Homo-oligomer: A and B are copies of this chain.
Amino acid sequence: MEVSMHALSAEVFVNALGNLSWILEKAAGNAAQRKIDPAVLLGARLAPDMLPLTRQVQIACDLAKNSVARLAASEPPRFEDTETSIEQLRARIARTIDFLKSVPPGALEGSDTRDIRVPAGERTLEFKGLDFLQRWAIPNVFFHFTTAYDILRHNGVDLGKRDFLNAGREL
């Protein structure tokens, strides 16, 4: 028993979302440089039945904030899905990070054994907190973050692992 649920949820997601915001900033610069309408990138998908970049970013934010709120047994802020620009998506990420940072570590104390319920269509998924973090929250947030990165790379934006891991800085 060594680390807190907070460290492996809120802190991990704050870091990931900061990198996602950085990646979008680079994408905006790249689009300007290549004279590409940013809306083309925001609507890009890796497959016709996968979600476009805008939705990947929105969902990454929602999974991060809703998962931490569930672990804290609190109500997360709700965001409308109205973003139509990279700047607006980065603002949503910033609001999400603000929320994550506002959750005191103590609010997640004991959350590893808390009962977590996740509405999923007509079903309700049930987890214990630790299992929820291991098998739902972490994989899900990184799924959408990575897919956003992959969409941009597929569309020729010059990104590398350093951008994904550490906002372009040396680790």
Contact = CB atoms under 8 A, between A and B. Distances in A.
A169 to B, nearest CB: 11
Q: How many copies does the complex hold?
A: 2
A120 B161 CA distance: 12
Given A4-B1, A147-B146, A140 B153 contact: no
A126 to B, nearest CB: 9
A129 to B, nearest CB: 9
A143 interface: yes
B120 A136 contact: no
Interface residues of A, number: 45
Nearest to A7: B130
Contacts of A135: 15, 165-166, 171
Q: Chain A at the B interface: mostly helix, strand, loop or mixed?
A: helix
- List 4 A-B pairs, minimum CB-CB distance, nearest first: A142-B142, A146-B146, A46-B154, A150-B150
Interface string A138-156: 1110110011011001101
Given A2-B5, A5-B3, A109-B2, A12 B143 contact: no
B2 A153 contact: no
A134 B8 contact: yes
A135 B149 CA distance: 16
A2 B134 contact: no
A50 interface: yes
Nearest to A146: B146
Nearest to A153: B47
21 contacts: A1-B1, A2-B4, A3-B3, A3-B112, A7-B130, A7-B134, A12-B138, A46-B150, A46-B154, A123-B170, A125-B171, A136-B165, A138-B138, A138-B142, A139-B164, A142-B142, A143-B161, A146-B147, A147-B150, A150-B150, A154-B154
